[in-house]
Amino acid sequence: MVAPKMFVGVVCRSCWRLAPILAMLACRSSLPTAEAQTEPQIESWTNASVPPAERAQRLVAAMTLDEKIEQISLNTGPNPNLPGCGKRNDTRHIEGLPRLHIPTVRLTNGPIGVAGGDCDPNPQTTALPTALAVAASWDPEASFRWGQVAGLETRNIAHHVFIAPGLNMGRIGQNGRNFEYFGEDPFLTGVMAVHQIRGVQQQGIQATAKHYVANEQETERQTMDTIVDDRTLHELYLLPFEMAVKDADVASVMCSYPRIGGVFACENTMLLTQVLRTQWGFRGYVMSDRGATKSTAPSIKAGLDLEFNSNAIWFTQPRIKAALAAGEIAIADIDSMLKRRFYSMFALGQFDRPITGFTPVDFPAHARTAREIAEQGSVLLKNEKGALPLSPPSLKSIALIGAVTFAGAAKLPVTGPRGSITVNATHKVTPLEGVKGVLDRLGSRAIVTFSDGKDLATAKRLAATSDVAIVMAGDISLEGEDRPNLSLPVLDGVDQNALISTVAAANPRTIVVLKNGGPVIMPWLKQVPAVLEAWYPGQEDGNAVADLLFGMVNPSGRLPITFPMAEVDAVGSTPEQWPGVARNGVRTVTYSERLLMGYRWLDSRQIQPLFPFGHGLSYTIFSIRGLEVTPKSTDGTKPITVEFSVQNTGARLGAEVPQIYLELPETAGEPPKRLVAFEKVSLAAGEKKKIRLVIDPSATNHPLGYWDSNSQQWVIANGDYRVFVGRSAGAIILDGAFTIQRGH
């Protein structure tokens, strides 16, 4: 299966299915006795020719009440069939039921690669670039390939569920988990998530879309209350999840920690039932974030199916039976919980193709994929006077300077509270190894000298006596805590901003490489000729970054999140927006910017960012010309075609990412523009290509629509629509228009 590089918001709901998954059959839940069949007709649900929903119904009907309760929460203790798994203090499995041929289901964490599963220590897997780096590739195929690796390795280590991707928005730059998400635009996030889910589930592994929903900060995430209006919730924060459900048939959704409008996400009927199942037709199951289950009956009645906790607290035998006895829940509720989870397992073949033990991993192939994605996702932010790529023949000495975390070691992302989860990578390529490797390949004898930057005088002397200085800097973003600000932190005893300024003053050929989990402020930007954003590249860090610096690979990444000039320019500049204020003893965060999040905010306020959403440079030059928008007038039911040409007018192979933004009529009350289509196109020197993108009103990202809270549906306004073609949200090149006139 090969995923396309083009994604224009036209994903047909009958296309790209993992497999022909049949619609769930309507059925009534009977009330079985506590003891069901003692000798069940196992063939009735092991028959692969029976539709998944029917198999799930038959299986649940054969279970005893005790067995059902055992299957709605994680279990503690080792897996007898898989040595080393079933970690004592961090269990991530649901114990199987041999009597009914129900397999033990093991869960592993994401989205930094496969890690934090049910086995201790973590089996070896590939440390992949972060989700933000994947989004920065602006290439759906890259996200699909990332998902393939994660799905394969989840299966290789005998796990069934990959707890990723993360679909929360980069609403504020300080969010400690921005690196785990796909940036600030819901459409770009949805595109990347859909393709990543397909890559994972193609391997017969369940993907989990998380954290549903409105969990855009880490500060007091487990108890906070998010205040967000219904329209904003649907248009921005729910939209990627809707795309994941409708376009990727995601197996599972993880409900988040916070309250939304005063009600915890995991007992929120509006979110779990009305939106997820009634509006979108979700057929899979909902699990809680770890410890996010807050009740028994209210959570079950709202639509929660699985309590994710090492040892069940709320979905225990005593609590469930007490709720049944009190009439707070019915056995039919428990049956529905199980049918939804078994449906996903049957649909992905997890009963028919058992995952029982470790299998070999193709580490060399996966390392190549990790390296290519890291290269595609790196963004050339600045490049004055051709400072990059570096030319080895002109270099005799290179200074590699920076805190050990960034310049002395491969930067692998970590997740889990305080970075408790990391990938057990097979190898890690340091920056020094990467630079020396490229020089060796090119036959250069240039000397590379490393300084950890702790002593500014030493770093200054080294920079002054070297032909070029490469400074690597960054931050450490972590689950469980937000960044205090957008400045580069003092780390490993290094004041990174001071280090960059000192080195730049000593050597005008100072190149800065950033390895960070979100936007940063750059007070030294005017002092340096070039800046390369590499995010957290993973185990192939050294190779990927060196390839880009020396032009072995042409940078093609684009920013998936805005870099503001100053923190006061961005959303989250007031305490009410972030980190929230106390109301009745609860930290309350108000999304008062409403629809004006990310580049929409800067557009509406006419604020110039440091680097806009979608920005990225190349070592070659492109021209974009000849816009044609058809038809010029429509009733809002037919696709709009946007055509133009892209030509590489430079001297080397490269990739451009033309982006289509749409301005809706004033009566719609929308931000100045929204991203609705894009394509990453690779062109040889001199090559020209005609690009044809489609804005389809029936697509799951609702490109022409806005959410009407009164009617609880998407509507399309009459009036004039403007189409913008740009290299970024801040660099519009072409514009056109069309009109929609709908009958009354």
Active centre residues (catalytic): 289
347, two tokens? 């649909």
What dihedral angle (degrees, nearest 10) is formed by the CA atoms of 59, 64, 69, 73?
A: -40
Question: What letter would DSSP give residue 666?
Answer: G
Amino acid identity of 185? D
Q: How far is CA 124 from CA 105, 114, 206, 215, 543, in A?
A: 20, 9, 20, 30, 20
Q: Residue with structure tokens 């990790």?
A: 370
Q: SS3 string of 730-744?
A: CEEEEEEEEEECCCC
310, two tokens? 């090492």
Helix H or strand E encompassing 254: strand 252-255
Q: How far is CA 270 from CA 208, 249, 299, 303, in A?
A: 20, 21, 12, 9
Interior/surface letters 206-220, b for 16+ CB within 10 angstroms, e for the rest: bbbbbbbbbbbbbbb
Cα 416-419-422 angle, rounded to 5 deg: 85
Contacts of 83 (CB under 8 A, 6+ apart): none
389, two tokens? 């790529």
Contacts of 197 (CB under 8 A, 6+ apart): 147, 165, 207, 209, 244, 248, 250
Whether 501 contacts 524, CB under 8 Å:
yes
Whether 466 contacts 398, CB under 8 Å:
yes
Q: Assign residue 365 a region: left if phi > 0, alpha if psi is -120 to 50, beta otherwise?
A: alpha
Q: Assign residue 594 a region: left if phi > 0, alpha if psi is -120 to 50, beta otherwise?
A: left
Phi, psi of 581 (to 5 degrees): -125, 155
383, two tokens? 């490049």
Phi, psi of 341 (to 5 degrees): -75, -45
Instruction: Return the bridge partners of 306, or none.
Output: 287
Cα 738 vs. chain centroid, distance in angstroms?
33
Q: How far is CA 734 from CA 329, 599, 659, 662, 724, in A?
A: 58, 19, 11, 12, 6
Q: How far is CA 113 from CA 69, 162, 393, 666, 742, in A?
A: 31, 9, 38, 44, 47
Residue 271: CB atoms within 10 Å: 27
Distance, in Å, from the CA atom of 193 to the CA atom of 213, rounded to the nearest integer, reads: 15
* Edge-first strand listing for the sheet containing 379-383: 379-383, 530-533, 510-515, 468-474, 397-401, 447-451
Contacts of 675 (CB under 8 A, 6+ apart): 185, 187, 188, 614, 659, 660, 661, 729
Q: Where are the beta strands (DSSP E) in 492-618?
A: 494-495, 510-515, 530-533, 581-583, 586-590
Distance, in Å, from the CA atom of 2 to the CA atom of 243, rounded to the nearest integer, reads: 19
